[in-house]
Structure 1
Amino acid sequence: MQVYERPDHPWIKDKSYYVAPLNYDEKVSAQRTAAEGADISPQLYDSTIRKILLTPGLRPTIHGMVRIAELLEGIGVKHFTSNIHWWKDPQPEALEWAVAEAILKANFSFDTSITLDTAWSDDWRRGAEDLAELGMVRPVFLFQPMREDRGKRSPEKTYDRVREIMGGIKDMGLRPGLMITDVGRASWEDLVGLSRAGIEAGADLLNVTDSGSSLSHHGMRVLLNSLRKELDTDVEFLVHTHDDFGLGTPVAIETVLQGDSIELSFNGISDRAGFPSFEETIVCLESMYGLPSGYDMKLVSQICELVKQESIAPHPWKALSGDHAFMLDLPYSAAPALEKGRGSFPPVWNCVDPSWLGYAPQMNWLRQFMYGPVVESKLRSLGLPTDKASADEFRAVLSREFASMKEYPIWVEEEAFDELAQLTLGERGK
């Protein structure tokens, strides 16, 4: 991966971010060395659609999922993952199959890997063969390793099945992938044994899945490096984790910095506690670590909004994609933005310029702005009078607006504020 030259100042102006210069210090850089001796290049796999399909309470549509796939291709996604479950039924889940079929038929430019839960089915080939005809490049089969409280099948029987499937998929002219679930709580001997069986049989992807988010980002680093050293392989490792401890994105960043690949979703959408966020990961890697993303960052806002429409809105305070993310929400940020301009450098309030990601800074009117000189600064920016009588009159208008609001969000949207100001004081400004 290309690395920016260390800047002389704590920002890089053409990207308009302003982060701590310590991030680029040699002592920090020395801590993020990829796995020793490994000739690998980390890849970002998008799992947004996969995770929407698994999020409780949603009613996804095939059309909506294809719309998201179109933007994924537009932003530059090169690797796409999805699931198809049989849920121990003779037939696959209809919606998951239909979505996969529609996306494969659309012939997008990204590679498509699909995880199948048919490893112990007598007819495990069927789904893989049907999907391969549609253009799937890699079927991934999942296996559970042994741990102290789990012992249904002998390791030897499992390894034989892994070899059978990986070898069979390779014989079909496809690229076999092996998913090992719950790696953080697995027996180390069985984790190594499963991995080795799959790789020796032809697996070109080891999907290291920390199903319960049991590993910290430091623990994940040790596991990945130890496993690669033990296996003595350059096969691609793809990490899958969740956000149960709020560590989804840190684990993703740690994984990439170690030279391994990671599954991500826009808005962090997922079942359970969410997923490592695609937008957070690429923005952080570029701005704090100097690793160019290669994505069309201007489309970040569009894809986050579309995922919101087709699934569920992120928490308002969610980094980058939440409604509060680029809000000038305190007088300390609002006043300088009004005086210097919202596009001034360095950014007034955030460490990145929102326009880099296709956003614009918001300045909805909040109760905090009723105090101090913010009202006057805002009126001045609109070319309206700012004398005491005018400002007091307009504060009274705003107070009545606030009093009429009973539910979140209790703020006056910027366009409504501008209209109120013109209606109240416009004639005086002429």
Structure 2
Amino acid sequence: MTRSYLAAPDLIWTGHINARSEVQDGFDRDRTVRFYDTTLRDGEQAVGVVFSADDKFRIACQLAELGIGRIESGFPRVSPEDTKAVERILAANLPSEIWGFARAVKADIDAHIELGTKSILIEIATSESKMKAYGFTRDKVVARIKEAIAHARAHGMRVNFFPVDATRSDLDFLRAMYQVAVEAGAQEVSVVDTIGACAPEAVEFLIRQVATWVGPDIPIHWHGHNDFGLATAAAIAAVRGGATWIQGTINGMGERAGNADICEVALALQCLYNVPVEMDLTKARQVSETVRKAGGYTVDRWKPVVGDALFTRESGAVASQFHMPDAIEPYSSKLVGAGRGIVLGKKSGLANIEIKTRELGLSLPEDRFAEVLARVKDRSVTTHALVSDDEFRSIVEAVAVAS
């Protein structure tokens, strides 16, 4: 059962210009956009990231809580640890569908059959450069597509055909490969921008083309990367073009510049385009932190959806408007389960002092705010850092004693 989420209008402050027909037209709002998470496989391909089986199981459980429709459990032939992770995830009976990943190789598919995987994404290269790199001819690609899909279907598996580097493939050949895959039994297809080289406008065009090639009964997935910083924009274009599923990862982790960040895509679709999504974004920060810790990396404090500083204000000019969130933020922090706060530093103003004094329950006459502010700024400049609450208390006490 699809769980649909759409932000309440009073929590979105993006402006009337987004309501214009040229922005809003073209989206099917009767259909909830769903997400296929590939953090455990494509996300782990980020350089230096190694998830344990326990990590993968924990992440999968939190992805299910986030409302992710499909979770790619992994590629068991990579290692015994990956096999163990797939086994545990399948055995957990999570509400999300659990999918496997395989190349168009019988042994890859058999590894999933042995574990009990019921749905599988099968990949093979279709661009000239990728086929050359693998030593494939076009005829060999056709044969492997037919054999792999037929083998999976013979074992009762649901199949998604995943043509690697689709966006750089010859369109006539790509069309033929989609049709070969569907005729072989694939029930779904992916449009794959393996190296993140497709402009959003081209994405929308290609999704529409693929829809005409495979027909209305075949769901279309979009899989994009962020090499030009356009992964979210490309995913939105894919939805407008008719994609049913968006593939991506938590925190946008992955090869090179990463994958589409599914939480960013979900937020943008709701807040900018009024499109319902299958994701409870109030859980996004929790799963983001879990994935970061497991992967041994951090994200920018200003990262959309999950950044620590999104709803924290240091600047005095902005802090003076803190009581009116819609004046300084495009959407309510409630949408992503975040708190709001004021911090103190070089850029702070009198409003910061007033708010922080009240927040900490300190007694400070208003005519002493300027002196406290001067000391706060001096401290921040000296340390090249924010002033902590404890440091602020000490400053207030020192000013009070001096007066």
- For residues 392 and 21 of structure 1, do their structure 2 counterparts lie closer, same or farther at Cα, with a shift above 3 Å needed? closer
Instruction: Report what 1:211 is aligned to.
Output: 194
Match for residue 144 of structure 1 among 125, 132, 147: 125
* Matching residue's letter, 1:197: V
State the 1:350 CA deviation: 1.3
The answer (yes or no) to whether the contact 1:159–1:193 under 8 Å persists in 2 is no
Alignment of 1:80-95 (within 5 A): 80-84=71-75, 86=77, 92-95=78-81
Question: Is there any run of 5+ residues in structure 1 with no aligned partner, and where?
Answer: 6-10, 87-91
* Match of residue 372 from structure 2: 394
| Residue pair 2:161, 2:181 contacting (<8 A) in 1 also | yes
1:228 matched to which residue of 2?
211
Q: Larger helix proportion, structure 1 or 2? A: 2
Shift of 1:182: 0.4
Deviations 1:242-278 (A, max 9, x none): 1000001111112123331211222112221022112
Q: Does structure 2 conserve the Cα–Cα contact (< 8 Å) formed by 1:327 and 1:363?
A: yes
After superposition, the Cα gap between the structure-2 partners of 1:51 and 1:425, relative to the gap in structure 1 and judged at 3 Å, is farther
Q: 3-state DSSP class of the match of 1:287?
A: helix
What SS does the corresponding residue of 2:255 show, helix, strand or coil? coil
Residue 327 of structure 1, CA deviation: 2.2
Instruction: Say yes or no: does 1:76 pair with 2:67.
Output: yes
In structure 2, the partner of 1:306 is 290
Match of 2:328 in 1: 349
8 Å CA contact retained: 1:50, 1:83:
yes
Offset from partner CA, 1:159-216 (integer Å, 9 cap, x none): 2221222122111111122110001111112211111111011101212211111111
Cα–Cα, structure 1 residues 253 and 297, in superposed 2: closer, same or farther, change >3 Å? same
Give the Cα–Cα distance (whole angstroms) in 2 for the partners of residues 42 and 320 of structure 1. Answer: 18
Kindly report which structure 2 residues correspond to 1:97-116, keeping only aligned pairs within 5 A, or say none.
Answer: 97-116=83-102
Helix, strand or coil at the partner of 1:57: coil
TM-score by length of 1: 0.82
> SS of 2:156's equivalent?
coil
Distance 2:215 2:42 in 1: 32
Q: In structure 2, what is the equivalent of residue 198 of structure 1?
A: 181
Query: Structure 1 residues 60, 210: CA separation in 2 closer, same or farther (over 3 Å shift)?
Result: same
1:50 corresponds to 2:34:
no
What's the % identity of the aligned pairs? 19
* Deviation string, structure 1 residues 109-137 (Cα, Å, up to 9, x no partner): 111111113x245x4542132132xxx22
Q: Which amino acid aligns with 1:75?
A: L
1:168 aligns with 2:151: yes
State the Cα distance separating 1:217 from its structure 2 match.
Answer: 0.9
Q: After superposing the two structures, state which structure 1 stretch, 93-102 or 161-170, moved more.
A: 93-102
Partner of 1:12: 9
Counterpart pick for 1:28 among 6, 23, 38: 23
Structure 2 CA distance for aligned equivalents of residues 295 and 385 of structure 1:
45
Q: CA deviation at 1:66?
A: 1.7
Q: Give the TM-score of the pair, scaled to structure 2.
A: 0.88
Distance 2:273 2:20 in 1: 10
The aligned amino acid for 1:363 is: I
Alignment of 1:267-306 (within 5 A): 267-306=251-290
Q: What is the CA–CA distance in structure 2 between the aligned matches of 1:264 and 1:146, rounded to whole Å?
A: 21
Q: Which runs of 5+ in 2 are unaligned?
A: none
* Number of equivalent positions: 396
Rounded Cα–Cα distance in structure 2 between residues aligned with 1:233 and 1:426: 73
